Structure 1
């Protein structure tokens, strides 16, 4: 299983780029899963629903299943946050896992950058960031792609992973 990340500051275009990359790469016949890191508490469950009631009652894990999908919710309950490596081990085998976030981990990454955020680039001095996808022209040592040129970014990622057709 190959792993490649998309990192960037808030509102830099990470999620949109991830969505477009999944569409582009799966259209090429490559199986893709994603991992998204959140810096805040989140909930995929809804108060009042049976699964939420199970979790609030103290269940460590709640598996919700239907004929369309299943989801496993795991409450950490004072455990440490799992590492990216731990989480990758929970995924079914696919050709490529695209990771949004986890900017401090060592897997290869593309940095999403938008001028309007006013944030400096993360990539200087970070060899794990292999390229930048931006809405403005940048002069730097790493390849720079138009943030909306999904095909070129996908080509770069797949070439960098030796997955090109």
Structure 2
């Protein structure tokens, strides 16, 4: 019989910080530039991304894909460098095709060693977010109708007054400073 380790003391969940914007604003591009800057500051970063469409991380013809198509859920694929777990939500109670809720997804993320969880999407969920705004896309600002937005990152000056910190979308170092000095120090 194997003795399993006792549960470690409950650790506080790391803070969530979202990046909310309309499609095409550059959320992923910014996060790809921002994450290395945060890692340079010795932060361990997790990320949850909301996809608005069906996606496969394994491709047709691959063993993991065939096993999932055969009905296995979850399917874990492990190598010496990566681990991926795929849950087929159609096999679960999600057949009503509702948009996934962030709170329902968080328990699947091992947060024990994380300092911060960045979230791309889930813009209508109630948690702290930085709005990304490009006036050239002719989309409305989100902050007037979302009390959870804590800052706005934009590539040009805003046409209206904004009671929140306004950051330069093209300067990820400035956004990293805001996250470390203003958001995480609360």
Does the TM-score normalized on the shorter chain lie above 0.5? yes
Q: Deviations over 1:129-161 (max 9, x none)?
A: 111111110132221111011121122222333
Q: Comparing 132-141 with 153-162, which one deviates more in the overlay? A: 153-162
Map of 1:46 onto structure 2: 59
Residue equivalent to 2:107: 89
CA RMSD of aligned residues (A): 1.6
Q: Using the TM superposition, give the Cα deviation of residue 82 of structure 1 relative to its aligned residue in structure 2, in angstroms.
A: 4.5
Cross-structure match for 2:183: 161
In structure 2, the residue matched to 1:129 is 149
CA contact (8 A) 1:109 1:131 kept: yes
Superposed, which structure 2 residues align to 1:77-116 within 5 Å?
A: 77=90, 79-80=93-94, 82-92=100-110, 93=112, 94-116=114-136
Is the Cα–Cα contact under 8 Å of residues 13 and 113 in structure 1 kept in the other structure? no
> What TM-score do the two structures reach when normalised by structure 2?
0.82
Which protein has the bigger strand share? Answer: 1
Q: Secondary structure at the match of 1:97?
A: strand
Alignment correspondent of 2:3: none
TM-score, normalised to structure 1, is 0.92
The runs of 4+ residues in structure 1 deviating greater than 4 Å are: none
**Number of equivalenced pairs:** 164
Q: Deviations over 1:25-78 (max 9, x none)?
A: 111001001000011111111000000000111112110010011100000125
Task: For 1:163 and 1:50, locate their aligned partners in 2 and report how far apart those are by CA, in whole Å.
Answer: 46
- Counterpart CA distance in 2 for 1:25 and 1:88 is 21
Which protein has the larger Cα radius of gyration, Structure 1 or Structure 2?
2
Displacement of 1:162? 3.4
